Structure 1
């Protein structure tokens, strides 16, 4: 009997040791891929030569710094900062940052088109200038665009109102030249702002759009984990943060595959996908 207990205990320990490394990940054929393999794929990527890179660095490095909470900023500046819509209507908004990225934005647009879902894209000015055809496609397919600065600096680290003004205005000029209107929506790189920056954005007639659900796709977990992050936290009125672009080491394939899970799952619950201006009943252009 003691021998049987020893064998059972050994098997239990072995199972516990194996389990963390075999969390299900992405796969085109439905079989599970270990998380360690997913991470190894990311580490082996080649750097693209022509995609403008975020000046402030990758999300994986910056987002852990956590400066002033957007919840506090929204409470201080309720007329400028928005984080979610009304809980009275069964609607949510998908939002995507850091594009347009020629590696991933077209694939994401294909998924949204197939599902007849409209989203809101916060675009880097430098990338919009490099890929104006992608900006035009986003607008032509019924999505809304917003300002995400030109070079994606960490505005809190820079701490300079003049830098904010230059980044925002240059992006605005770029976007207006492509699509013919000036957006009223702004989202800060990494979501990082402080009081004076918010006040200046209000003076510049922007609505600062945050989020209430973070997909954490910037951590590049497998797609079903990204989908779980969204599905387990979404409720009526949610603004969902995701990314269609990133620095050269980033891979948004998991995001695209997660969106393919998120859309039908929420629609089955009777939830409608709308753009941020529709969700909040605010204008999207000046």
Structure 2
């Protein structure tokens, strides 16, 4: 039988099957973060969010963690030169439109990522991962200063939760929206737009506040959902923002779409029933509904 050279497919009578017309290349986003062996956060959550939102995902692993829904039991940093080589390999070949940055545990890795992205002109969304959902420290104290000095000024947007914002500023955390806005403005003075996440706040509603230079603050509010399955929410939100930016949305549109996506992924989280601790959000709630 003859194999069709264009498609590689073979018909029942030995005739080649015409290949489908090529579509436009996909939007591409790159995640630079740690690996979560439990699949709920980090690189795994980012790639799931990219895929769920129709974006091709590339990845650079900065650390390998041994973790599940209950705890992080081991963290192994990837050698700095390997982190740099991964970034160079991706950017040398793929047309990356947006980068999401997550777990960077050491000052050396922070510096390597900052240097590797020096010539990158697309969107950079930085999620300053400091502590895991289970309480494990994922960013060393000495790396916080490096993050503040080397990467935050380079980012288009940073997405701290309330404890992370306080750690970056060296102050006590706040719980109210007014305090969150005040701390967000202090972080904005370092250069990037800031999305202050309200998941650690109080009240029946959860409010995220987007602060941009020369623009009025934008608030994204949703009812606070009662569930223990919120592992990977920060990773997922920042990855979703990067995905929307990669597709061409402006920052406000990207945050609005990502906020809505995450809310529904949390709402559907209890249907997954993964693990005995803080389970993951349901990244594919839209897609899986079609097959149930």
Q: Same fold (TM over 0.5)?
A: no
Larger RCO (CA within 8 A; separation ≥ 6)? 1
Higher percent of residues as strand: 2
TM-score, structure 2 as length reference: 0.31
Higher percent of residues as helix: 1
TM-score, structure 1 as length reference: 0.32
